[in-house]
């Protein structure tokens, strides 16, 4: 990790730059080509991409019921138990996010309310490759089920033998998801956007991925398909004071760095001894990781920064807007009061970010690349549309009608005013005939 001491604020923007953002323009053109190819050739294109990127020869793009059933018995009992516990915790947390339908009478006879209606067709993209993220399937599948989405389509890259990771299939079975497509990358997002013979088109696409997947989701939104957020390479920012445990901090940094070579980790501290000790711990722990090569590449774009005060560190963090923010400080609750931009926050020395990744209950599908400034992480609300309703009685129209007439006339929208005036006249007519 690069070590920077007391950088002036004029240099902060450069220090907050993500490597992925610098390369984004190289990705968009290729993703556009993939979208056009999938639109024209459908399933044939998906099979070709599976052969090219996954080295898999696919005869059927859909996981069969037999494949799904066989996968369940392949997962060790201990892992099944862990997944079921995580499922219960995630379900419990997200179930509290339900909102009651409330009717409000804004004026006598004027009633308004809002109803949550599930998105009818959702696509869940689950990364595969070197680290199949079955945990992400829990994070997306649980709120989709809680919301009552009628159609859930899962896409995930195949393994070289044409199968899908058994733990992903076990998790899908636990969630009751049966439409599972063997496709990954931008091509999977393209298929969910426009549909193919094997892949149903959906209304909204969820799930993290690499630069290509992120670019593909943003392109999908131009075709009228909603997305959860631009969720790209993983990142964490740790604020550590002199009370922090360097071994804990190093482990937190490496837990994000091992996600992928384009992940980024940032460490802020007002204590040089903590920065130095953490650097030494990173080197020691890195040597023990199976994914050391991946983490090492991510660390080349990562930084340890010495700042002067907790307030300065928090200001830097809010500008950076990290996906994950860890407050490894003496008084984390106090510092957390000032957090304005972060995907998810982890308070204190005993709250590792990994807990949120798997089983504490919060969602780990979070905005990256600075999007935490204006996006929230996935929640139950992400799977709902909020539709407003209103009903006006005769009494209500007499109350609100003149207000609407006056405002519509002031804007020069005569038809708007007339829509009210005609109704008011019809209410007055019986009185005039007496």
With a CB cutoff of 8 Å and minimum separation 6, the contacts of 22 are none
Tell me: is residue 187 an annotated ligand-binding position: yes
Question: Whose CA is closest to 317, among 299, 298, 335, 339?
Answer: 339
With a CB cutoff of 8 Å and minimum separation 6, the contacts of 109 are 392, 393, 394, 395, 396, 397, 398, 399
With a CB cutoff of 8 Å and minimum separation 6, the contacts of 69 are 173
Tell me: is residue 85 an annotated ligand-binding position: no
Determine contact, residues 149/122, Cβ cutoff 8 Å: yes
Tell me: is residue 285 an annotated ligand-binding position: no
Count helices and strands (H / E) in the chain: 17, 14
Tell me: is residue 28 an annotated ligand-binding position: no
**Which is catalytic among the residues 323, 349, 353, 425?**
323
Tell me: is residue 234 an annotated ligand-binding position: yes
- CA-to-CA distance for 39 and 42, rounded, in angstroms? 6
With a CB cutoff of 8 Å and minimum separation 6, the contacts of 64 are none
Tell me: is residue 256 an annotated ligand-binding position: yes
Spell out the alpha helix ranges (H) of 242-288.
246-257, 272-286
Tell me: is residue 17 an annotated ligand-binding position: no
Residue 259, token pair as written in the block: 């996600």
- CA-to-CA distance for 390 and 396, rounded, in angstroms? 11
**Which is catalytic among the residues 235, 258, 281, 324?**
324
- CA-to-CA distance for 185 and 273, rounded, in angstroms? 42
The verdict on whether 324 is a catalytic residue reads yes
Tell me: is residue 59 an annotated ligand-binding position: no
> Pairing relation of β-strands 324-328 and 204-206?
unpaired
Tell me: is residue 416 an annotated ligand-binding position: yes
CB atoms within 10 A of CB 8: 6
CA torsion sign for 311, 317, 318, 320 is positive
Determine contact, residues 264/235, Cβ cutoff 8 Å: yes
Tell me: is residue 349 an annotated ligand-binding position: no
- CA-to-CA distance for 71 and 424, rounded, in angstroms? 66
- CA-to-CA distance for 256 and 263, rounded, in angstroms? 7
The verdict on whether 323 is a catalytic residue reads yes
Determine contact, residues 221/244, Cβ cutoff 8 Å: no
3-state percent breakdown (helix, strand, coil) of the chain, nearest 5: 50, 15, 35
With tokens 């722990």, the residue in question is 285
Across 122-152, b (16+ Cβ under 10 Å) vs e yields bbbbbbbbeebbbbbbbbbbbbbbbbebeeb
Reduced to 3 states (helix: H, G, I; strand: E, B; else coil), residue 122 is strand
Catalytic residues: 323-324
Q: Which residues contribute to the annotated binding site for NAD(+)?
A: 125, 187, 210
List, as residue ranges, the binding site for Zn(2+).
256, 259, 357, 416
Residues comprising the binding site?
Answer: 125, 187, 210, 234, 256, 259, 324, 357, 411, 416
């Amino acid at each position: 990790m690069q070590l920077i001491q007391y950088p002036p604020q004029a240099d902060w923007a450069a220090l907050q730059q993500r490597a992925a953002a610098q390369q984004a323009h190289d990705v968009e053109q290729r993703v556009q080509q993939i979208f056009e190819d999938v639109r024209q050739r459908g399933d044939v294109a998906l099979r070709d991409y599976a052969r090219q990127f996954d080295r898999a020869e696919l005869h059927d793009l859909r996981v069969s019921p037999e494949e799904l059933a066989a996968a369940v018995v392949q997962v060790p009992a201990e892992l099944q138990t862990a997944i079921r516990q995580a499922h219960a915790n995630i379900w419990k947390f997200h179930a509290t996010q339900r909102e009651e339908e409330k009717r409000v009478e804004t004026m006598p006879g004027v009633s308004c309310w809002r109803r949550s209606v599930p998105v009818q067709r959702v696509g869940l993209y689950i990364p595969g490759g070197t680290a199949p993220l079955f945990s992400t399937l829990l994070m997306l599948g649980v709120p989709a089920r809680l919301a009552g989405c009628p159609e859930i389509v899962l896409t995930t890259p195949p393994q070289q033998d044409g199968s899908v990771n058994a733990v992903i299939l076990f998790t899908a079975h636990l969630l009751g998801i049966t439409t599972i497509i063997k496709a990954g990358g931008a091509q999977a997002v393209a298929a969910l956007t426009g549909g193919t013979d094997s892949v149903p088109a959906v209304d909204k696409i969820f799930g993290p991925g690499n630069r290509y997947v992120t670019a593909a989701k943003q392109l999908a939104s131009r075709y009228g398909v909603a997305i959860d957020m631009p969720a790209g390479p993983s990142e964490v920012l740790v604020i550590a004071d002199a009370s922090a445990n360097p071994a804990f901090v190093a482990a937190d940094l490496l837990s994000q760095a091992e996600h992928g070579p384009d992940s980024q980790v940032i460490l802020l501290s007002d204590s040089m001894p903590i920065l130095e000790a953490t650097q030494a711990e990173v080197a020691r722990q890195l040597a023990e990781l199976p994914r050391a090569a991946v983490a090492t590449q991510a660390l080349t774009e990562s930084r340890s920064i010495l700042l002067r005060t907790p307030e300065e560190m928090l200001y830097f963090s809010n500008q950076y807007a990290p996906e994950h923010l860890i407050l490894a400080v003496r008084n984390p609750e106090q510092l957390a009061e000032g957090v304005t931009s972060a995907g998810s926050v982890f308070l204190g020395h005993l709250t590792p970010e990994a807990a949120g990744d798997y089983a504490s209950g919060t969602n780990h599908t979070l905005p990256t690349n600075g999007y935490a400034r204006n996006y929230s992480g996935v929640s139950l609300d992400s799977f709902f549309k909020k539709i407003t309703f209103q009903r006006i009685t005769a009494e209500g129209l007499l109350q609100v009608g003149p207000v609407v007439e006056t405002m519509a006339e002031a804007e020069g929208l005569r038809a708007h005013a007339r829509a009210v005036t005609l109704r008011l006249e019809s209410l007055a007519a019986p009185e005039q005939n007496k």
